[in-house]
């Protein structure tokens, strides 16, 4: 394996800036890695090698000309296939968008390009971000580089797997109920769901508009902070975008100090229902934070017990509305367009063939929840629970600066193990969903391997809205302590492919 692909994004960027290595060499090394291992991992749906190398050559030319570029210039990145990219296939993991090439860039993509980050291609995902395992992609499952028989999490398993397989040092994911954090947990990587509205959603193909949030992913906390700083900030094209200053997440990651911080253990997100090895690593991490100078307090969030039920009413309801636009009339797949079928028949045939089973399930659930006579009983009640969850968070943050929990109740399970049991699959997000319902910020970072299976365990840090910097204070401090304990970063232990 090339030494270049093992380096952090920050190290690569500095080497490129000093002209110790070229951006073209770094990009080529990662493209070679994709070529060598992605037939086993299937992290990517589309690799744009020609455009990536051209962008890298442009970075090298500008550095040679004496230009001062951004802190991640020349560093390669894997982009989740739910964000539009001009002229590049965007499928959202679905057949219904097969062949669609958007005529515009998402805001996040514009910011990546402006920062001279090299986009390698688009990563696999559960169809329209509906899933926790990346098994619901129309283009086949992604596999976990730690064990190719296991899932890489979802819906953003492709982005997390690309990091863990050393196919890219940076990635972008999206998080509606845990789709950045849960994949990070089971692949031994770092993933952040920023405050809702802190990263613009323009060009992010909507699943549930009140929950979706794009965010940064990497193999360590500092790289994640550097990428967070690139993509965050107000965008007038997004009506939900927050017009407030971006917290200095890079400075927080550099400071890496939890002395005097109050860290809350959420009673509802620990204990029963969690794999023993997950609980063990989590408890050890909490003791390390206490040793580093934090005060540990227990907090009670009783409405969290109802978060899963509320989420699986709100999300399908919003999805049933958002996905109505995929009708075979304007873009993507179209079946029955032979002059013998009516418009309604074309729509029906296209949606029947274009959507997978999980997407159909959630569209039907959402349509039912919004139907006449049931709206108040289901969708309306779920929104009331959402308000209670927001109040529980507010009360908890009155006594704690951040909250912590395991990110996922188990390590990575085997491919096919839960795919036919929707409830078992939905329970993977039991610890991550409350944050999305409240709009707060959260991070998952690796805290070791479970004793019973040797697979990565993630710890979740939760912060109030627009206090994203607290995630990086805690995450970087814990990461440094664990690195001192292990002598290396966890991801370096991933099996070679």
Taking residues 379-385, what's their average pLDDT? 96
pLDDT of residue 108: 98
Q: Is the pLDDT assigned to residue 357 strictly greater than 90?
A: yes
Find the angle CA(8)-CA(246)-CA(243) to the nearest 5 degrees: 140
Query: How are beta strands 402-406 and 262-266 bridged, if at all?
Result: parallel
Residues noted as catalytic: 80, 155, 179
Q: Is residue 13 part of a domain?
A: yes
The number of C-alpha atoms within 13 Å of 414 and in the hemisphere containing its C-beta is 4
With CA atoms as reference, report the closest residue to 488 among 257, 219, 246: 219
User: Is 324 within a domain?
Assistant: no
Residue 371 lies in a domain: no
How many other CB atoms are there within 10 angstroms of residue 11's CB atom? 15
Q: Is residue 346 part of a domain?
A: no
Give the H or E element holding residue 276: helix 276-291
Half-sphere exposure of residue 481: CA atoms within 13 angstroms, side-chain side = 21
**493 confidence band (pLDDT: 50, 70, 90):** low
Measured on CA atoms in the order 197, 198, 200, 205, is the torsion positive or negative?
negative
pTM value? 0.97
pLDDT of residue 494: 64
Q: Stretch 369-378: mean pLDDT, rounded?
A: 89
**Residue 484, pLDDT above cutoff 90:** no
H helix intervals, 323-468:
343-354, 357-369, 381-399, 422-426, 433-438
User: Would the pLDDT of 368 be above 80?
Assistant: yes
Mean pLDDT of 221-250: 97
CATH code at position 476: 3.90.1300.10
330-345 mean pLDDT: 83
Tell me: pLDDT of 332 over 90. no
Answer whether residue 325 is part of any domain.
Answer: no
Mean pLDDT taken over the chain: 95
The answer, yes or no, to whether residue 60 has pLDDT greater than 80, is: yes
Tell me the residue range of the domain where 455 lies.
3-304+386-493
In a domain, 447, yes or no: yes
Distance of CA 35 to the CA centre of its chain: 24
- Residue position matching structure tokens 């907090």: 299
- Whether 326 is covered by a domain: the verdict is no
**Best CA proximity match to 472, nearest among 194, 71, 161:** 194
Top-confidence residue, 97 or 497: 97
What would the mean pLDDT of 247-253 be, rounded to a whole number?
98
Contact (CB, 8 A) for 418 and 424: yes
pLDDT of residue 241: 97
Shortest CA distance to 491 belongs to which of 146, 159, 183, 257? 146
The total domain count for the chain is 1
Q: For the residues 378-406, what does the mean pLDDT come to?
A: 97
What confidence tens digit (pLDDT) does each residue in 174-233 have? 999 999 999 999 999 999 999 999 999 999 999 999 999 999 999 999 999 999 999 999
Backbone angles phi, psi at 70, to 5 degrees: -70, 170
Q: Are 190 and 226 in contact (CB under 8 A)?
A: no
Closest CA to 221 of 468, 493, 435: 468
Burial grade of 388 (CB within 10 A; 0-12, 13-18, 19 or more): middle
Residue 495 has a pLDDT of 67
| 71 pLDDT above the threshold of 70 | yes
pLDDT surpasses 60 at 1: no
Asked whether residue 120 is domain-assigned, the answer is yes
């Amino acid at each position: 394996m090339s030494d270049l692909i093992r380096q952090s994004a920050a190290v690569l960027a500095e080497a490129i800036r000093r002209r110790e290595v070229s951006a073209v060499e770094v990009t080529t090394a990662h493209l070679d890695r994709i070529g060598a291992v992605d037939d086993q991992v299937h992290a990517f749906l589309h690799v744009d090698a020609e455009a990536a190398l051209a962008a890298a050559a442009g970075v090298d030319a500008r550095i040679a000309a004496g230009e001062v570029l951004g802190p991640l210039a020349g560093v390669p990145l894997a982009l989740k296939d739910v964000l539009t990219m001009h002229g590049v296939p965007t499928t959202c993991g679905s057949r219904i968008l097969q062949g669609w090439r958007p005529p515009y860039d998402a805001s996040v993509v514009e910011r990546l390009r402006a920062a001279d980050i090299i986009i390698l291609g688009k990563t696999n995902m559960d169809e329209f971000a509906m899933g926790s395992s990346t098994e619901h992609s129309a283009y086949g499952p992604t596999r976990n580089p730690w064990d190719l028989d296991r899932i890489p999490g979802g819906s953003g398993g492709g982005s997390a797997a690309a990091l863990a397989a050393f196919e890219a040092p940076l990635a972008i994911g999206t998080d509606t109920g845990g789709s950045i954090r849960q994949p990070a947990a089971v692949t031994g990587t770092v993933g952040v769901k920023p405050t809702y509205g802190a990263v613009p959603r323009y060009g992010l193909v909507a699943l549930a508009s009140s929950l979706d949030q794009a965010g940064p992913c990497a193999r360590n906390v500092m790289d994640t902070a550097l990428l967070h700083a690139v993509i965050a900030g107000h965008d007038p094209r997004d009506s939900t975008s927050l017009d407030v200053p971006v917290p200095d997440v890079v400075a927080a990651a550099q400071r890496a100090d939890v002395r005097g911080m109050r860290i809350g253990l959420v009673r509802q997100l620990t204990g029963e229902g969690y794999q023993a090895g997950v609980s063990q690593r989590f408890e050890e991490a909490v003791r390390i934070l206490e040793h580093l100078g934090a005060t540990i307090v227990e907090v009670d969030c009783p409405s969290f017990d109802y978060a899963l039920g509320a989420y699986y009413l709100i999300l399908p309801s919003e999805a049933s509305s958002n996905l109505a636009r995929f009708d075979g009339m304007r873009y993507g797949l179209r079946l029955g367009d032979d002059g013998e079928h009516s418009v309604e028949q074309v729509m029906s045939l296209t949606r029947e063939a274009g959507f997978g089973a999980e997407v159909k399930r959630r569209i039907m659930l959402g349509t039912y929840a919004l139907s006449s006579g049931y709206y108040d009983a289901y969708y309306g009640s779920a929104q009331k629970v959402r308000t209670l969850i927001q109040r529980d968070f507010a009360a908890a943050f009155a006594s704690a600066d951040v909250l912590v929990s395991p990110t996922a109740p188990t390590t990575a399970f085997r491919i096919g193990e839960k795919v036919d049991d929707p409830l078992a699959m939905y329970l993977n997000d039991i610890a991550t969903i409350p944050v999305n319902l409240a709009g707060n910020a959260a991070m998952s970072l690796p805290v070791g391997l479970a004793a019973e299976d040797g697979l990565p365990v993630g710890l979740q840090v939760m912060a109030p809205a627009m206090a994203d910097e607290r995630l990086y204070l805690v995450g970087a401090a814990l990461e440094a302590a664990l690195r001192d304990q292990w002598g290396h970063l966890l991801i370096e232990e991933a099996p070679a492919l």
